[in-house]
């Protein structure tokens, strides 16, 4: 049986070999300065048979950090090191976008330049914890961004997009999901501003559209995608009317010639877990409002992915945890082969264990034989 997932698709200027997207996956295996390593090169090279790889969330500026050893795109050393990753993916026939990240309040002074408070739309603390070099701690109390600081943050998104292209990425994905900075502006549980960036939907989505426009101005709309997560609970984020909010946003994203819209299904919980048995309900609702390629994510396996493509609710499907443990996931789906189980314990630990040592089907067979 030929799978829809394995048929080609056009995304911006690129003809992708298949409709399987490797979801962005933070793995905390870069240096403490946010520089990718040889291990990162190998990890992405192994997974280049995905039609599109979206990189792990990558910091636009030092102030955006909320997890140790995550990569960035602000320094020359980072750009040079990313070049090795993107070249390896391209040599293996793949495509890769960089996910642009600022965590906002999901941080702690121990992760911030000069030990300062993390910044956010409002001084409303996230609930939950983060890892720091000194151990796991509660998220720190953020300070509200001053109105005149916001253009600087917007500019940093544009600069990071430009540097991503310089580093050989095929495009960028705006990380507007999972309760991070852009999402904090969107959702009224985290945004109590009374200026042009708070209150009505138009104001709360202003930061998203400004950062998007900065990236588009830097690299062109056809190289810019965006990720959203309606009903998300990361860091205790909430909104009084999440569907109205996200429908408003998606309507505003249409007509811009963007590379794609990437949406995490509300059934997905932090850490990639999801509510068993819950149907995908974001794609049927949001996909009709958008006019470009739509990527559905969150809790998909081979059959669920085929189903959502067949229903016409998505053009591509992203896989997170299955790509962690199966570097050759497209082949395994194509031939309906068993999947390697993933090991949650090594999601964020240093070194190759659980990162570059999951075998392909061929390697597993060779080892067994």
Ligand X SMILES: Cc1cc2nc3c(=O)[nH]c(=O)nc-3n(C[C@H](O)[C@H](O)[C@H](O)COP(=O)(O)O)c2cc1C
Q: Which is nearer to ligand X, 24 or 51 (CB)?
A: 24
Is there binding between residue 24 and ligand X (CB under 6 A)? yes
For the beta carbon of residue 339, count every other beta carbon within 10 angstroms.
Answer: 15
Taking CB under 6 A as the rule, which mask of x and - marks residues 58-97 in contact with ligand X?
----------------------------------------
Give the residue, chosen from 68, 272, 292, 330, that forms a contact with ligand X under the rule CB under 6 A.
Answer: 272
Q: Is 356 in the site for ligand X (CB under 6 A)?
A: no
Residue 57 touching ligand X (CB under 6 A): yes
* Cα–Cα distance measured from residue 198 to residue 179, given in angstroms and rounded to the nearest whole number: 16
Q: Which is nearer to ligand X, 144 or 186 (CB)?
A: 186
CB of 318 to ligand X, least distance (A): 7
CB of 293 closer than 8 Å to CB of 51 = no
Q: Which of 157, 180, 260, 294 is catalytic?
A: 180
Please state the closest distance from residue 322 (CB atom) to ligand X, in A.
Answer: 6
Query: Cα–Cα distance between 263 and 245 in angstroms, integer?
Result: 14
Q: Which helix H or strand E contains 39, and what residues bound it?
A: helix 38-46
Q: Which of residues 324-353 bind ligand X (CB under 6 A)?
A: 347
71, 242, 292, 320: which one binds ligand X (CB under 6 A):
320
In the 8-state DSSP scheme, what is residue 300? -
Do 207 and 122 contact (CB within 8 A), yes or no? no
Q: Does 231 interact with ligand X (rule: CB under 6 A)? A: no
Closest by alpha carbon to 174, among 229, 124, 129, 125? Answer: 229
Q: Determine whether 180 is an active site residue.
A: yes
Binding of ligand X by 297 (CB under 6 A): yes
Partnered with residue 294 across adjacent β-strands are 261
Find the shortest distance in angstroms from Cβ 95 to ligand X. Answer: 17
Q: Give the Cα separation of 219 and 59 in Å (integer).
A: 17
Residue 32 DSSP code: T
Distance from CA of residue 74 to its chain's centroid? Answer: 18
Q: Encoding tokens for residue 178?
A: 């999972």
Part of the chain binding ligand X (CB under 6 A), chosen from 24-32, 112-120, 150-158, 189-197: 24-32
In three-state secondary structure terms, 10 is: strand
- Our finding on whether 257 is near ligand X (CB under 6 A) is no
Question: What is the contact surface with ligand X in residues (CB under 6 A)?
Answer: 23-26, 56-57, 99, 175, 177-178, 227, 264, 268, 271-272, 274, 297-300, 319-322, 347
Catalytic residues: 180
């Amino acid at each position: 049986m030929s799978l829809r997932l394995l048929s080609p698709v056009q995304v911006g200027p690129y003809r992708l070999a298949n409709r399987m997207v490797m979801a962005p996956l933070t793995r905390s295996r870069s240096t403490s300065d946010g520089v990718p390593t040889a291990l990162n090169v190998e990890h992405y090279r192994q997974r280049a048979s995905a039609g599109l790889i979206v990189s792990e969330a990558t910091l636009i500026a030092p102030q955006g950090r909320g997890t140790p050893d995550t990569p960035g795109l602000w320094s020359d050393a980072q750009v040079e090191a990313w070049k090795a990753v993107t070249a390896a993916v391209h040599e293996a026939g793949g495509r890769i976008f960089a996910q642009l990240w600022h965590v906002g309040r999901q941080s702690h002074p121990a992760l911030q330049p000069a030990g300062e408070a993390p910044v956010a739309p409002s001084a409303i603390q996230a609930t939950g914890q983060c890892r720091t070099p000194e151990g796991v701690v509660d998220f720190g109390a953020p300070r509200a961004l001053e109105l005149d600081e916001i253009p600087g943050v917007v500019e940093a998104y544009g600069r990071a997009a430009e540097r991503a292209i310089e580093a050989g990425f095929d495009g960028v994905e705006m990380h507007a999901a999972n309760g991070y900075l852009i999402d904090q502006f969107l959702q009224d549980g985290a945004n109590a501003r009374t200026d042009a960036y708070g209150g009505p939907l138009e104001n709360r989505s202003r930061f998203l559209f400004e950062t998007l426009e900065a990236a588009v101005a830097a690299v062109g709309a056809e190289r810019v995608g965006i990720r959203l997560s309606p009903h998300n609970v990361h860091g205790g984020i909430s909104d009084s009317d999440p569907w109205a909010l996200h429908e408003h946003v998606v309507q505003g994203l249409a007509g811009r010639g963007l590379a794609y819209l990437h949406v995490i299904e509300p059934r997905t919980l932090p850490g990639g877990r999801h509510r068993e048995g819950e149907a995908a309900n974001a794609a049927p609702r949001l996909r009709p409002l958008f006019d470009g390629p739509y990527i559905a994510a969150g809790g998909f396996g081979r059959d669920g992915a085929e189903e959502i493509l067949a229903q016409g609710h998505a053009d591509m499907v992203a896989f997170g945890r299955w790509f962690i443990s199966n570097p050759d996931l497209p082949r395994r789906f194509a031939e309906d082969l068993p999947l390697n189980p993933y090991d949650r314990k090594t999601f964020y630990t240093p070194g190759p264990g659980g990162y570059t040592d999951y075998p392909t089907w061929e390697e597993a067979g060779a080892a067994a034989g």
